[in-house]
Amino acid sequence: MKTKDFYINEAYNLVKEYRSKFDYLKIYLSAGQSIEVNVLNGKIENVSFSESIPITIVGALNGKTATVSGNYLSREKTGELINYLFGLLEIVEKDPYFVIPERELIGKAKADLDLFDKEALFADAENLIEKTVELENLSLSMSDKVKSAGAFYSVYAGITVFANSYLFADGFEKSYFGKGISLIIEDSAENSENKGRKQRAGWWDYAVKQNLLSSDNEVAKKAVERVLAKKGSVKPETGVYPVVFENVAATGFFSSIASALSGTRLYKKESFLVDSLNKKIGSDILTIEDNPLLKHGLGSRLFDSDGVKSKLVNLIERGVVKNYLLSVYSANRLGLKTTASAGGYSNLTIKPGEKSLDEIIKEIDKGILITSLKGQGANIKTGDYSRGAEGFFIENGKIAFPISEFTVSSTFQHMLDNIKEVGSDVFKSSSVLTPSVLFNGITVSGK
């Protein structure tokens, strides 16, 4: 991988050379390199090195747009790709909503978000292997009941560059560090044919800088606790319960809400939140913003994929929709202004409450705590919600026993209206920053 200035310069020269042939031309390039190591029982499973420079070019002519993409190899090769645009433009039809973004929208936010750790460029496989083996050993030393299902360490360094017909060309650097461990215990279930039943759980962390990662001790401890707690899980009784989504399990729910508020979904009417601007769609205690300018944020960025300067977006305030997530195009479709959200949310931030997860559980007489979800049953088009789950049964304000092989079913609308608590325990190793959330009146289907 070459320097940020090199790629900015290449993108600049490309738009300069080809812009006269189009009404509008934009280039989005992201160069990245990474190393990932996987270790199992002290031995290396995998060491992977990657270096990739995907480039996407969008050209518009007479209200039509077309896209080409590939790997960035050289300016000449990219020029050949750009020439494919003309063949594509021949078949595309004129889109009455096509709009060239105004010059003043384009730019790079001036903010020092501290997103890049130079160490990422010099990551060394041997050193990472050593660290991964240490994490695995530490985890296994905490309990003689657990076995390893593998530990990993990964380091990524990347550069995002945007250039367009205005001869704007700029970029920013970003790095990620990640580590984690997955553990297994032997288990059995009564009245089951599943003779080889095991339980698997793990823990991990991601951060933009190496020194922001959780310690090995924190990661190992959490992984061991989580896997041991699953032993002997049973199906819960079918019924309607208060259900707490643990922070890590709540990320998917809020990510779906953000999708339901995205301009593209809304103009296509593929969202249960169509026409919700300035309307109350949820509980008073729900406030959500999308903050691309979060210091050290995993989803932080200085411009979106339209090249529009990033800024904070208030999405939901005390249950009322204040903004949608809009690109230049979807904003034009809806008669609104872009929120610099082309490419989706950045750091989706759910405003935390005062109570810890324990305090929330303490107030529940009989209910469910969900620690993980699976399946594609969250449908933001219709608002239907039904997913597979595992977690714990809550009795008299305490975790009573582990449960699995059940579903939670409701609708997004019911869930939004029935958020009774948001915790204080924000989960930070994700671009959805959410605390644990308590919903009332959710159907649980078990035995």
Partner 1 sequence: MDGFEFFGFTLEDANRVFAEILKKGQFAELYFEFTERVNVSFEDDIVKIAKTSQSGGVGVRVVEGETTGYAYCESFDLKSIIKTGKFASSIASQRNTLTFPVNFSEVKGLSLYSASLILKDFRLQERVKLLKEITGLAYRHSDLIKRADASISDKVKKIFIVNSDGQYGFDTRPFVSLSLSVVAERDGKREFGRSGFAKRGGYELINGDILKNVSDKACKKAIQNLDAKPAPAGVMPVVLGAGESGVLIHESVGHPLEADFIRKKSSAYTGRVGEKVASSLCTIVDDGTIPGNTGSLNFDDELTITEKTVLIEKGILKTFMTDKLNAKAVGIPLTGNGRRESFQYNPIPRMRVTYMDRGEDNPEDIIKSVKKGILCLSFAGGQVDIASGDFVFVPDESFFIENGEVKYPVKNLTLIGNGPDVLTKVDMVGHDLKFSSGNWICGKGQAVPVGIGMPTVRIAEITVGGAEV
If the CB atoms of residues 13 and 411 are measured against partner 1, the closer one turns out to be: 411
The pair of three-digit structure tokens given for residue 264, joined into one six-digit string: 């593209």
Ranges within 265-284 binding partner 1 (CB under 8 A): 268-270
The pair of three-digit structure tokens given for residue 65, joined into one six-digit string: 């747009």
Q: How far apart are CA 15 and CA 19, in angstroms?
A: 5
The pair of three-digit structure tokens given for residue 432, joined into one six-digit string: 């959805």
Q: 10 Å Cβ neighbour count for 302? A: 22
**Using CB under 8 A, which of 46, 62, 141, 217 touches partner 1?**
46
List beta partners, residue 205. Answer: 179
Ranges within 394-413 binding partner 1 (CB under 8 A): 404-411
| Stretch binding partner 1 (CB under 8 A), from 189-197, 254-262, 279-287, 309-317 | 189-197
Q: Which residue has the tokens 């823990």?
A: 203
**Using CB under 8 A, which of 6, 239, 295, 358 touches partner 1?**
239
Interface with partner 1 includes 47 (CB under 8 A)?
yes
Interface with partner 1 includes 13 (CB under 8 A)?
no
**Using CB under 8 A, which of 20, 76, 90, 211 touches partner 1?**
90
**Using CB under 8 A, which of 311, 322, 381, 420 touches partner 1?**
381
Minimum Å gap between C-beta 187 and partner 1 is 7
Q: How far apart are CA 131 and CA 37, in angstroms?
A: 10
Interface with partner 1 includes 51 (CB under 8 A)?
yes
Q: Please give the sequence-ordered ranges of beta strands (E in DSSP) within 41-111, or none if there are none.
A: 43-52, 54-61, 64-71
Say if strands 320-321 and 366-374 run parallel, antiparallel, or are unpaired: unpaired
The pair of three-digit structure tokens given for residue 266, joined into one six-digit string: 């809304």
Interface with partner 1 includes 152 (CB under 8 A)?
no
Interface with partner 1 includes 387 (CB under 8 A)?
yes
Interface with partner 1 includes 136 (CB under 8 A)?
no
Minimum Å gap between C-beta 81 and partner 1 is 7
If the CB atoms of residues 51 and 395 are measured against partner 1, the closer one turns out to be: 51
Interface with partner 1 includes 62 (CB under 8 A)?
no
If the CB atoms of residues 8 and 408 are measured against partner 1, the closer one turns out to be: 408
Q: 10 Å Cβ neighbour count for 221? A: 16
Interface with partner 1 includes 296 (CB under 8 A)?
no
Minimum Å gap between C-beta 329 and partner 1 is 11
If the CB atoms of residues 236 and 423 are measured against partner 1, the closer one turns out to be: 236
Ranges within 360-379 binding partner 1 (CB under 8 A): 374-377, 379
Interface with partner 1 includes 210 (CB under 8 A)?
no
**x/- map, 104-133, partner 1, by CB under 8 A:** ---------------------x--------
For partner 1 (CB under 8 A), the number of binding residues is 83
Say if strands 366-374 and 239-245 run parallel, antiparallel, or are unpaired: parallel
Say if strands 54-61 and 24-40 run parallel, antiparallel, or are unpaired: antiparallel
Give the C-alpha distances (Å, rounded to integers) separating 366 from 243, 370, 398.
Answer: 9, 14, 9
Name the CA radius of gyration of the chain, rounded: 24
If the CB atoms of residues 115 and 135 are measured against partner 1, the closer one turns out to be: 135
Interface with partner 1 includes 40 (CB under 8 A)?
yes
Yes or no: say if 426 and 435 are a contact pair by the CB < 8 Å rule: yes
Minimum Å gap between C-beta 68 and partner 1 is 5
| Complete DSSP assignment for 1-49 | ---HHHHHHHHHHHHHHHGGGSSEEEEEEEEEEEEEEEEETTEEEEEEE
Minimum Å gap between C-beta 310 and partner 1 is 25
Q: Which residues contact 342 (CB under 8 A, 6 or more apart)?
A: 304, 305, 306, 308, 327, 328, 329
